[in-house]
Amino acid sequence: MALYSEKVMDHFMNPRNVGSIENADGIGEVGNAKCGDIMKIYLKIDNDTVSDVKFETFGCGSAIASSSMATELIKGKPLSQALELTNKAVAEALDGLPAHKIHCSVLAEEAIKAAVQDYYKRNNIPYDSSDFPDCESCGACEAVH
């Protein structure tokens, strides 16, 4: 059995939504000190919908594939649905990740949530802080400043 699914390899070799968005409405950047992966997600929001999303990821193939798939899963969706994206959904959409690479899908989820939170903060939109990761207590990722 192959270590990586065809979808993981496709999103690694042909990542979607790579790059940055000038004047992004929300930016989320997270990293994992253990593996060195860093993900940065840029959101463009129109009428409470993710009209565009881009990513820049420094990391392994699973990190790049997770970033690519996560952006595909939220593009064109309402912010409320973007916030509901889980690392499990990202991993499932990739037809699975090896157990030691699940943290990559966690980073993708956390980067998207951090970008949405940034959007809320920039626009003084009230939000429930429990909807967003507390990276210091979680340990899976670290907010990068």
Active site residues: 35, 104
3-class DSSP state of 144: coil
3-class DSSP state of 46: strand
Residue 68 — φ and ψ, nearest 5°?
Answer: -60, -50
Greatest Cα-to-Cα distance within the chain, rounded to the nearest angstrom: 49
Cα 95-5-17 angle, rounded to 5 deg: 75
DSSP string, 118-133: HHHHHTT----GGGS-
